[in-house]
Structures are given as C-alpha cells and as structure tokens.
Amino acid sequence: MTFKGKPPGSGAGDMSRRTQLLRPPIALSDKQVTEARRMRRAGGEPTEIAAALGLPRDEVEKALVQMRSPRPETTRGTLNVTLAAHRLILSERVGDEPLWQTMDRLVNELLRLRTDAVRRRKPSSPIQDDLLSRLDQGDSE
C-alpha cells in the first residue's frame, strides 16, 4: 500500500477570500501599502510614515494593522507538530525536498513496516486476512 499525498495547491498560504472580505478596504495602492509596511518594519511610526508618504494617517494605519508579524516564541513548526517532531522531520529531509514530500516518504515507510510486521505474525482471523489482501492490492496499483 502506497501513501500518496497531494502537494499543496498554488494558493497555499494565501489569505482566505472570507478574511479579505471582512477586512476594511484600504484607499492606497499596493505599492503604497508595500512602502508603508517597509517603513514600519524599519521602525517608523504610523504618523511619520503618513507624513513621509503624503497619505492620510487613517489609511496608513489600516494598512499597517493588517501586517503579519512574526511570533517571538512559537510552540509549533511549519508542520502542525511540536518543535521536537519538526526537528525530526527536518533531519529526515533528503536534500531540499519539500516537507510534504518528506512526510509522504516517512508515512510510506511506516505503512511498509506495519505491513511487514503483520505478515510476520501469522494471520489468525478472517479480518486480518482481509486486511492483508487489501494491503497487497494497494501495492500492485
């Protein structure tokens, strides 16, 4: 039986449309928003940024409030796992393969090991026989 995951889609990580609709509209161009956020990351205050760009302070504040900011102490990695498990997954990567591919490979290995363990134990019930036959059918696909 082979586990075959599906890679993240092209929009993975994007903001949901629902979230975008709930946010107030900003009367600034994308370029102005980017510049205001760049200045904020450099340490500028909203009032200073608005004055420097010649934009209304309210609009600049709306753009800055919606910025993503790093969390100083994360309890989880990019996988939704503990940091210890995340380090383990990263140590299992081959080259710079995507994390989803590493996870697929590890899950495949786990399934193979479990199948081998079940085969070593002689099946003693029709349910186990059925499970083994299904696993074998999955291998041939």
pLDDT in tens, 111-127: 899 888 888 876 567 77
Which segments of the chain have a pLDDT < 70?
Answer: 1-3, 71-78, 122-124, 136-141
Count CB neighbours of 62 within 10 A.
Answer: 19
Model pLDDT, residue 120 = 82
Asked whether the whole model's pTM tops 0.95, one would answer: no
Containing structural domain, residue 123: 83-140
From the centroid of its chain, how far is CA 141?
29
Residue 34 maps to which CATH number? 1.10.10
Residue 27 falls inside a structural domain: yes
Model pLDDT, residue 9 = 78
Are 59 and 88 contained in the same domain? no
Q: Which of 34, 36, 67, 66 is nearest to 52 (CA)?
A: 36
Tell me how far apart the alpha carbons of residues 69 and 77 are, in angstroms, rounded to a whole number.
16
Model pLDDT, residue 47 = 95
Model pLDDT, residue 85 = 86
From the centroid of its chain, how far is CA 4?
18
Last residue of a domain, one of 65, 92, 124: 65
- Continuous H helices in the chain: 17-22, 30-41, 46-53, 57-65, 83-92, 99-120, 126-140
Count of domains observed in the chain: 2
Model pLDDT, residue 75 = 59
